[in-house]
Every structure is written in structure tokens, then in C-alpha cells.
Structure 1
Amino acid sequence: MSDAMDDVQIKRLFMLLHGMYGNSVLDKYRIGQVEDGEDVGMKSARQVWLNGLREFPQPVVLKALAKCSEKHKTFPPTLPEFRDICKSLMPRQWTASNEAPRLEMSEALRSEQVERARRAIAQTRLQREGGVQTADGIRGLHVLIAKAVGHAGGDEAATLLRLDAQRSAASA
């Protein structure tokens, strides 16, 4: 079934409106002149409604029909009232505007953000490569030796020499 309204769907809409509001729908549009077994006023009204609702997808029109029971409890809506309900149910389209003001970042704030990003990248690399971050000086050396002993399984001297060789090769 197509998403756009067509003759079959507009007839169905009028049938549903008649079911909801009874003969008040017929009384609103019929003129008493019958052509091909159908009132000319109703036929004309359906064509006007079809043209007025073409821009709305069928699911929106059906949702609008359901809303009519809340907004128009006793009398059927006019086409403009029904279109307003359809418009309120249409999904909102957001488009970026070139006229929106751009917020500029100060040089100091930009430098701070860049430095924060560099530290985060360095920390991520260190963790990914299995490195250990320690404090400088003798305290950091103690942490590194403890880690080396833990990895060595008792042969800390060989492990320290291997780590030192790897560090020398990496810095060269």
C-alpha cells in the first residue's frame, strides 16, 4: 500500500469519519444532487480533502483520525482543522542553520584541551603496551623492581637485564 493518499484511502477516511460522527459528515457536504449513484457534494468534498491531505503520509492521516475523537467529540473537523492535527503529528525535521552563532574557544582553553588529550593518549598507549606508570626517583625504581621480580618468577636479574635491553632499544 502506498504511503501517499489516493482515492481509495480518502473514501476509507470518509467512511471512518461517517462511522465516528454519523450523518453529520454527510449533512456537512451533500448537496442533494446525485450523479452515478453518489452525491456530487460528497464526491467534491473527497477530492478537496484528497488534495489537502496529499502532503501527509497515510499513517499520519490515520493518527490524526484517531486524535479527532479527543479534539472533535461531537462534530467532524473541517479540512483545515484536520490538516492542523496532521501537521502536529508530523515528525519534526531538524536542519542545521548557518546563521547560528559559533562559539570560539580561547587560546588558553584550546591549549589546555590539547594537553589533556595528549596526556590521555599517552596513558592509553602506556596501558596498551603493558607499561607501568610510576613516580620519578627511587620510589619509582622500587615499583619497577617489584614489578620485574613479579614477572621474573624468581630470576629478577635476568628479567631486569632483558627489560633494560628492551628499554634501550625502544629509546634508540
Structure 2
Amino acid sequence: AEIDKIMKGASNFYSSKVTSEGRGRFPGQEKYNVAVGGYTVPTNIEGAVEDVEDIVKAWKSTEAAAYTSDIGSKWRSVFGVSNSSGGQTFPSGALVTDDPPVGTCCDGDAEWLNEFGDNPIKTPFQDGHYIYIVVPGGGAGNSASSPTIFVADLESPGDYYKKYAP
């Protein structure tokens, strides 16, 4: 249920950027065709979304700890790794990082926090932490595709994740 709130925030953010910037994007994206996280920009966007979803589904806490999995280094913290407001914690040793800002634009965790009035949503799990990636959109005209966002709980990403593409 908490991930649903984050996905609703992602949808609202995307819609507001359509209005203010002319094309939608998600928190941390400089523009719609830029990835957030460590996955490379694909040439086959639909295939890339399927590949990422397969990786997420297989990423369970029972596999050598989700926190220290190499997969984690490709993901970004939704509300910031050092943000402890609202009781949010960051698991020790986790490889997830913040999304770095590009100049004065698109600081992922700052944009997420702003979307939620500086009140991060706390995961229901003691060792959980909300993380995300964005597979970029691309193309033009009738062949254009929107970016796809994945949000997961680091407690067990394969069990607790959602994806959304406008």
C-alpha cells in the first residue's frame, strides 16, 4: 500500500512536468529519455523494461542479502540514503545510492521529498528502504514511448515492487 502512494506521487510528478516542461519525466530524470540508476540506455525500450522486470522479480532477500547485492548499486534511494525523517532507516552496507543532481536540475531524492511535502513515506519493514530506477523513454511521433519507473522496497525487491509507464 505504501508503494502505491509513491507510484501515485510519481504519476502526479510526471503529469505536472507535462504541463510545466512540455513532456513528462520522473524524479531524477533530466528529460524523458534519460535513465535514472545504473542500467544503460536501451535501443529496444520494451525489451529493456521486460529485462529489468525479470531482474527485479528474481531479486529476493533470501539471495545473499538484497542490501549487498550488486544489483543494488544500480538503484537509487527514493527519499535519500541519509534522510532519517519520518523514521526512515537505511540498511547498513546497502549499495543503493542517491541519484546525483545534474547542475541545479533533477536531484532525485529532493524532487521526491518535494512531491511529498518533505514527509518521506516510511517502509513497514524494519530493514526496508524505498528504491527506484527509471528505464528511459524514447522515439518520436507515433513510435514514441514513455519512460517506465520501478519502485521497490529494499527489504525484498522481488516481492515488493511496482512499475508504472504513463
- TM interval, shorter chain, is under 0.3
- Structure with max Cα Rg: 1
TM-score (norm 2): 0.23
Structure with the greater relative contact order (CA < 8 A, sep ≥ 6): 1 or 2? 2
TM-score (norm 1): 0.22
